[in-house]
A and B are shown apart, each in its own frame.
Chain A
Amino acid sequence: MKHALQSWLLLMMAFGSATVAAHKASDSFIYLDQSNPDATTLRVDLALRDLALVLPLDGNNDQQLTGAEVRAARPAITGLVAEGVTILSDQGNCALAGQQWGLSRHSDGPYAAARYGIQCPDGAKPTGITYDLLFDVDPLHRGLVQWTTTEGESLAVLGPDSNRLDLTASQPSMLGTFGTFLYEGVIHLLIGLDHILFLLVLILPATFVRQQQLKLSRTTPTVSFSTRLWELAGIVSAFTVAHSITLALAALDIVRLPIAWVEMVIALSIAIAALNVFWPILGKKTWKLAFGFGLIHGFGFASVLGDLTSGVSQTVTALAGFNIGVELGQLGLLVIFFPLLFWLGRYRLYARAAVPAMIVAVTGISLFWAVERAGAL
């Protein structure tokens, strides 16, 4: 026990105070780069500490690895990689041609790293990679693969029970990502009650004719259904455009607001929009209201979107898909429910009882949310 502590303290000192290597499980790092279709490269980084388990790196057995010892072990390390990492093709295994060799670093310390060019028989394309190093000394060891193609990059993990990565399976295409997020956008709209309630209060004013207007304009023909529908599509789109703006601002990390406050303001905005139906304190131009509140609603995504922009290569595509999905979901709801409400609007009971009831209910629910969310501030 004491000895372990001492050797650990030694380890600390060796790395100095600036960057101390962390303890983590054993991983090797494999970078397969096919972004240039004519020159596939492979980089393999193996932790010196792991290599020392399977190769006699520490020539003088002093529990220290020096630069000279690692250099001396270069052929052995290269041989190990050649044995344990195989690039497959339809014409047989591909050859690894060393391009660069040296040391690299990951969060837990120094790694032996090498880059290879890949030459497959008859110029065939690589179809797979198998990895089989270190598992026999450490079943928790993993090979972490980053696979880069012209379409982007993806990550994989190779373990003792799954040591092969198929390179023929296509990467997620741009279209695929877009489609996925489009779908998520639609779903996202449909499962969120606050979103739907906000939509409801936006479309309500257009579904009935106020009594005053009826009295004043008995003779004028009522506005046609299709005009109303287009007007509404505009309102809803204004909402989406607005929240897309704030979403993008958030995604680019230009603006970030505290999420708890945003959530509370969102709840309040629904209540205000509901009350505005009868007391148009914010004006009757519903699209402006939709736009203004849309900005706030967009901030609802703010705190969670920051990470999206980094890392995933297809973030912009994903974001666009998602937004358009939300828009489609809104328009879909509109197409289904607006005719129903418009038809109900012909009955005086709808304007006199059903609409006020809905307004009261929505206001109540959203004020409840607002109080609840304020409590969490």
Chain B
Amino acid sequence: MIRITNRPLTSCSDACECARQFTPGLRLTELYPALRGGVFSGLLALSLATPALGAPAPIQNDFRDDQVLLNLPNLSSTQTSDIRTAQQLAEQVQTHLQQARSEGDPRFLGYAQRLLQDWPDDRMTDRLRVLRATLWQSLHRFDDAREDLNQVLARDGDTQNHVQALLTLANLEIVQGRYSEALTACKQLEKLYPGLIAASCRAQVLARTGQADTVYTELKAQTQQAQGQGQGNTTAMLWAEGTLADIAAQLGRPEAEQHWRNVLALDPEDLYSRTQLADWLIQKQRFEQAVALTKGYDAVDSLAVLRAIALQATGSGQAKSLIASLDERFTEARWRGNLLHQRDYARFLLDIQQQPDEALTYARENWQSQREPMDTRLLLRAAGATGNSAVIDTTGEWLASINQRDARYPEVQP
């Protein structure tokens, strides 16, 4: 069982495949989408024009010879020539995906893609397809991911590959808010691989569709039972605790924090849980603790944005340089053109830059592909800040249609 698909992937990289293809002499008209309806929101689109580019940093030649400029990442092998079997390839790809995930570094996704791209089609295996689907999901190529997974599931094959494919598929559908598809995958998983992981899968979906209270109690009991019987291996416990944390947060219960801390005790590199917990602490205005939790994670966009918010709230002098660094990052990312960490950027615009209209644009765009509570809450907050009741209404309608309630967005209770 690989851990890559453990929690929904948050390292949705800058490295989106859909990099804006080069357009000869980009014109201003191409840089903003069609104007939206409503007079006073009309100009919104204009503000999405080219990122503001300052002059690049100067070229300096006075660096010392003994100065360590960079520590290189550990790349055991990116040489395709070393890889002869599908098994070797799978291991290498998995290592890259894991590095991308645990460090929040999208360059590893590129290395993984290169390896998979160079591999002949007729030698593709189910395991490689599952890994490729994970890569596609990280790059927000959700449909490509689905296609690979369905191909694996349509064939009789190794159970472990099926389990992995079902988990990945369920995850993908949950992230995208397609709960009936997710539930189907979770149920199939239950048959094939009963246990805490399948139970968590199911609980997650049911919680998001109106049964949070019941499934929280059930899953908690199941988790304690498994733990008591010594059955809960680390992976299963990670799944269960992470899911319990999500549901508790959805219900607005303080236990959420302990569940997340349990996850982080088992796996400090779980950036997803760290992000969720940091956000929770910020919502509870426990800024000092959010600062402590995000310390050392400035390189990861989602955590850096939350850290900046917390630092600013505590009046820390460190806030300024982190905000400047985030601003530079997002400017470069916008130049690259494929936003990328739209959620993080929207949050940055909303809570740091105080630009709710721009924040709403990115939050909406993000919500088209990702509908986790974090995404929904951000969308609603941005819509509230701009007074855009139409967005609040349509989001509310969607939430009502799936019967989703969440303590983090009490303004829309179906």
Contact = CB atoms under 8 A, between A and B. Distances in A.
B15 A140 contact: yes
Interface stretch (A22-30, A79-87, A345-353): A22-30
A306 interface: yes
Contact of B67 (A26, A67, A181): A67
Contact of B68 (A5, A9, A14): A14
B154 interface: no
Interface stretch (A163-171, A281-289, A354-362): A163-171
Interface in A302-342: 303-308, 310-312, 314, 318, 322
A225 interface: no
A346 B20 CA distance: 58
B255 interface: no
B288 to A, nearest CB: 17
A211 interface: no
A137 B111 contact: yes
The CB with the most chain A CB atoms within 10 A, among B38, B67, B70, B384, is that of: B70
The CB with the most chain A CB atoms within 10 A, among B28, B114, B296, is that of: B28
Given A3-B74, A23-B104, A311-B50, A306 B389 contact: no
A156 B66 CA distance: 37
B12 to A, nearest CB: 11
A22 B329 contact: yes
B45 to A, nearest CB: 9
A18 B62 CA distance: 21
Nearest to A305: B43
A144 interface: yes
B355 A307 contact: yes
Given A169-B24, A169-B25, A65 B107 contact: no
A179 to B, nearest CB: 10
Interface stretch (A100-108, A216-224, A234-242): A100-108
Interface stretch (B95-103, B157-165, B187-195): B95-103
A48 B107 contact: no
Nearest to B74: A7
Interface in B86-112: 98-99, 102-107, 109-111
Given A24-B332, A114-B59, A376-B392, A303 B105 contact: no
Contacts of B13: 25, 140
Contact of A303 (B50, B53, B74, B357): B357
A91 interface: no
A161 to B, nearest CB: 7
B57 A159 contact: no
A155 B335 contact: yes
Interface residues of B, number: 96
A192 B42 contact: yes
Contacts of A101: 59, 61
A20 B103 CA distance: 14
B28 A31 contact: no
A375 interface: yes
Given A142-B336, A260-B387, A304-B358, A24 B106 contact: yes
B300 to A, nearest CB: 6
Interface in A290-311: 297, 300-301, 303-308, 310-311
A228 interface: no
A259 B110 CA distance: 41
Contacts of A4: 73-74, 98-99, 102-103
A148 B54 CA distance: 13
A144 B329 contact: no
Nearest to B117: A139
B66 A68 contact: yes
B65 A66 contact: yes
B40 A144 contact: no
B26 interface: yes
A325 to B, nearest CB: 11
Contact of A191 (B29, B42, B329): B42
Contacts of B58: 104
Interface stretch (A117-125, A182-190, A271-279): A182-190
Given A140-B15, A259-B357, A64 B332 contact: no
Interface in B289-345: 296, 298-301, 304, 321, 325, 328-329, 332-333, 335-337
B28 A107 contact: no
Contacts of A108: 329
A1 B96 CA distance: 11
B251 interface: no
A218 B244 CA distance: 83
The CB with the most chain A CB atoms within 10 A, among B14, B21, B25, B61, is that of: B25
Contacts of A147: 25
Contact of B39 (A139, A154, A191): A191
Q: What 8 pairs between A and B have smallest CB-CB spacing? A: A192-B39, A311-B52, A140-B110, A25-B15, A300-B40, A138-B110, A102-B61, A260-B387
14 contacts: A1-B102, A9-B296, A29-B56, A31-B56, A101-B61, A107-B329, A109-B70, A140-B19, A169-B25, A171-B25, A259-B386, A318-B28, A318-B46, A373-B387
Interface of B: 13-15, 17, 19-29, 35, 37-44, 46-47, 49-53, 56-75, 78, 98-99, 102-107, 109-111, 113-114, 117, 139, 268-269, 296, 298-301, 304, 321, 325, 328-329, 332-333, 335-337, 355-358, 383-389, 392
Given A4-B74, A109-B70, 15 more contacts: A1-B102, A11-B73, A22-B299, A24-B332, A29-B56, A108-B329, A140-B13, A157-B335, A177-B28, A304-B41, A304-B46, A305-B47, A307-B49, A308-B47, A376-B387
